[in-house]
Amino acid sequence: MAYTPFDLSGRAALITGGNGGIGIGMADALAQAGADVVIWGNNPAKNEAAEARLAQHGTRIIVDRVDVADEAAVDAGVARALEALGRLDFVAANAGVGEGADSFDTMSTDLWRRVLAVNLDGVFWTLRAAARHMVARAQDGDPGGSLLATSSTSAVHGAPRNQAYAATKGALLPMMRGLAVEYARHGIRANAILPGWIATDMTARAQGNDRFNEKVISRVPMRRWGEPEDFGGLAVYLASDASRFHTGDTFTIDGGYTIY
């Protein structure tokens, strides 16, 4: 019999922030591997473009406008995904904002709370709803599932003027390890990724900054910005049976920047 663990036919995935950046890179690969995919995003134009791109792969694609900073909206969004697809096998809490301040001592409380609401509360609510579904399914005799959170190398590096962002990304790591231990008995895995410097809308200003490219990107051993497509293979791996015993881990995807 052929070894086909990366065939995701019959599986369903949810990617928050899936209409662009790292999210669309993961969603596109999942759809190509045969998964039905739900993506959440707030920008109607980006949602429409993402839907058209993913639909080319022939699986079911659902695009939903969900504000992950709203607990009720998250619960309702997961309920709609389950109603449409019947199950969720892989849920990636990827949506995030990267808002910084001129300095830490001038950072406003409103900014701090806004970043935490999206990057931390939103992940908590998304994965909580996903875990409820996966546990209930396991109790009905259908164990398994995979949870993923998008953290950042700012969780382990100093991030000046971006302490709110870094605080949220750092908090995700113990959250995912706790989920991995708590839900392993149900066959549910939980992992995190730490992206480095990735060419997305969030880093658009830095991409166009010659000094930044000279001083920072030149230090990336692979000598380039990361791309959303660099996360596709990992998403397929974590959604597949190939990772059925792999949990509680943190994947650093940064072209070698952190170890250099």
Active site residues: 165
Could you give the 3-state DSSP secondary structure of residue 147?
strand
CA 192 to CA 70: how far, in whole Å? 22
Q: For residue 250, which phi and psi values (nearest 5 degrees)? A: -125, 120
Encode burial over 64-84: b for 16+ CB neighbours within 10 A, e otherwise.
bebbbbebebbbebbeebbee
Encode burial over 31-52: b for 16+ CB neighbours within 10 A, e otherwise.
bbbbbbbbbbbeeeebbebbbe
Residue pair 59/29 in contact (Cβ under 8 Å)? The answer is no
DSSP structural state of residue 59: S
CA 253 to CA 240: how far, in whole Å? 19
Q: Report how far apart, in Å, the C-alpha atoms of 63 and of each of 51, 73, 76, 206 are.
A: 7, 14, 14, 29
What tokens were used for 127? 């994965």
Per the listing, tokens 């999210």 go with: 23
